[in-house]
Amino acid sequence: MKLSRTWAIAKKEFFHIYRDPRSLALVILMPALLMLIFGYAVTIDVKKVSMAVLDRDRSQESLNFIHKFSASPYFNLRYWVRDEKEIKRLIDQGDVKIGVVLPWDFSKTIKAEKIIPVQVLLDGTDSNTANIVLGYVQAITQQYTQEKTILKVTKMGVRDLKLPIEVRPRVWFNEDLESKNFFVPGLVAVIISIIGVILTGQVIVREWEKGTMELLISTPVRKGELMIGKLFPYFFLGLLDLFLAVLMGKWVFEVPLRGSVALLTGLSCIYIIVTLALGLTISTVARTQLLANQMAMVIGFLPTFLLSGFTFSIANMPFWLQIITYGIAPRYYVTIVKEIFLKGVGFSFLWRETMVLMAMGIVGLWVATKTFKKELR
């Protein structure tokens, strides 16, 4: 293998990228756009849930209970209604997500120290949001019930009542439970997959479509030199997008980067090689650039987005789908990025994922080299 021939191929690919504004836009604008969308627009946080209340009792006791909701940052009391039909209409129109109905004898039953049913109507079209809101309602109701219980015991003459269990929650690694801290680190894997698979998936098939592959075949350039020369520019662009994503995550979205930047860079280089090998394999198999794009989306981008743990928890997937995730590289890289970003762990905690990615990279480069035939199709 001669470095001069390899560098000539790499230089040619650099010139092609520079002269192709679409490739430059994909390399520079797409990562920034994805970071902005997922950092600002996409969120799983549930706050200021619109709420309607039907208070049939209209007593001080019922107002105190409702105040628990209106004082919470998770609810926005927008409507006081007169009947249940109005709540139904507001939920149907999407004006509110939750309706609370207090019965006529709410205050009387509370003072009689009996159990009183309170009806809660939820918009279940978004099951995730409905479950979170239901948890908020149950927490507020439990707090109100606990206060009444303590007041009752105090009136009976018991002083300094102490509950047997006191929960003192402390959240690690994402103290404010902000969804951007969950999405932004995993988005690095998505960005690298775009550069590695989609762009690299064009490099060989493009030469065939333009008729320039015949010229390359006639030269003394070997398969290995051609492959490495084609991959080098996109390896460089992958590192460029990695640093762009990390800088935006840290300085624009203020996602904590607690781990080693050097470790993140080193392990990212391995993942970039894996994605480049996959894209190159697609490019050698596909006959047209359109087919290469479709294969890159199905094989490279979608598994990264859906099956890596970036968007959905792998533990909540069906068992057969969990087995499939062990065979895709993004699963391991998303774990690496999140562990370094949020937990600040070292290599001793990530060596398994690293070994798997290295094995995938070696196998991927071998497959890409074997599938490429330096001969006319």
Which pairing describes strands 98-102 and 119-122: parallel, antiparallel, or unpaired? antiparallel
Note the pLDDT tens digit of each residue in 16-41.
777 777 777 777 787 888 888 877 77
Residue 217 reports pLDDT greater than 70: no
At residue 214 the predicted structure's pLDDT band, cuts being 50, 70 and 90, is low
Q: Closest by alpha carbon to 48, among 83, 75, 84?
A: 75
Q: pTM for the complete prediction?
A: 0.80
Q: What pLDDT score does 159 carry?
A: 64
Q: Closest by alpha carbon to 318, among 306, 305, 336, 330?
A: 306
Q: Which of 45-54, 212-221, 367-376 has the lowest mean pLDDT?
A: 212-221
Q: What pLDDT score does 267 carry?
A: 95
CB 230 within 8 A of CB 9: yes
Note the pLDDT tens digit of each residue in 226-262.
778 888 888 888 898 899 889 988 888 888 889 999 9
Q: Which amino acid, 128?
A: N
Whose tokens are 């068992």? That residue is 319
Name all domains of the chain by residue range, CATH numbers in brackets. Answer: 3-42+178-371 (no CATH), 49-155 (3.40.1710.10)
* pLDDT, average across residues 128-147: 88
Note the pLDDT tens digit of each residue in 2-18.
777 777 778 877 877 77
